[in-house]
Homo-oligomer: A and B are copies of this chain.
Amino acid sequence: MVDADPRLATVADARDVARLLHAFNVEFDTPTPRAEVLAERIASLVERDDTFVVVAGSPPNAIGLVTLRPNVWSGTVALLDELYVEPGARGRGIGARVLALVVEEAAGRGATELEVEVDEPDVDAQRFYEREGLPLADAETGDRAFVVRRTL
């Protein structure tokens, strides 16, 4: 297994991306569709202009999945929906390298802001994002921001 440079995923990576997303959910006890169902969804998502996936490693051992949305204030906002590094590949800075390509690609697609949602108990993720320039508290106001949600 090689820690290859992060790169944009194509349709050909759909199965690997699905495998990693499936492993992500199993690791965090979240219900997950079967990997084959995920692979189909990912194959159609990576063809869209408003979604992209970064993979790293050969075979891939890390992914970042990003969606872009229009915003009335800033033009386009990028949301890092998922960032996952396989347990055996952690501690080598792979997540930071995936995030760096996420930032570059999002900016290249016109985004002026990058957002990530992180759960309150997930302090490891909070520490990672803080280190990478996405602090929990806004640098200017000192305020945190919450996400509230409901199913429809």
Task: Flag if A145 contacts B121 (CB, 8 Å).
Answer: no
Report the nearest B residue to A129, measured CB to CB: B148
The minimal Cβ–Cβ distance linking A49 to chain B, given in whole angstroms, is: 11
Whole-angstrom CA separation of A93 from B130 in the bound complex: 39
The minimal Cβ–Cβ distance linking A87 to chain B, given in whole angstroms, is: 21
Task: Flag if B82 contacts A72 (CB, 8 Å).
Answer: yes
Known: A48-B70, A69-B79. A119 touches B143 (CB 8 A): yes
Q: Could you write out 12 A-B pairs with CB less than 8 Å apart?
A: A21-B72, A103-B152, A112-B151, A114-B151, A115-B147, A115-B148, A116-B148, A117-B145, A117-B147, A118-B146, A144-B146, A145-B146
Contact partner of A67 among B51, B71, B116, B120, CB < 8 A? B71
The minimal Cβ–Cβ distance linking A24 to chain B, given in whole angstroms, is: 11
Contact partner of A112 among B32, B69, B73, B152, CB < 8 A? B152
Residues 79-108 of A contacting B (Cβ, < 8 Å): 79, 81-82, 103, 106-107
Whole-angstrom CA separation of A148 from B68 in the bound complex: 16
Known: A69-B67, A72-B38, A72-B81. A150 touches B136 (CB 8 A): no
Known: A70-B67, A72-B82. A136 touches B117 (CB 8 A): no
Whole-angstrom CA separation of A135 from B67 in the bound complex: 24
Asked if A56 is an interface residue, CB under 8 A from chain B, the answer is no
The minimal Cβ–Cβ distance linking A37 to chain B, given in whole angstroms, is: 10
The digit string for A49-86, where 1 denotes a CB below 8 A from any CB of B, is 01100000000000001011111110000110110000
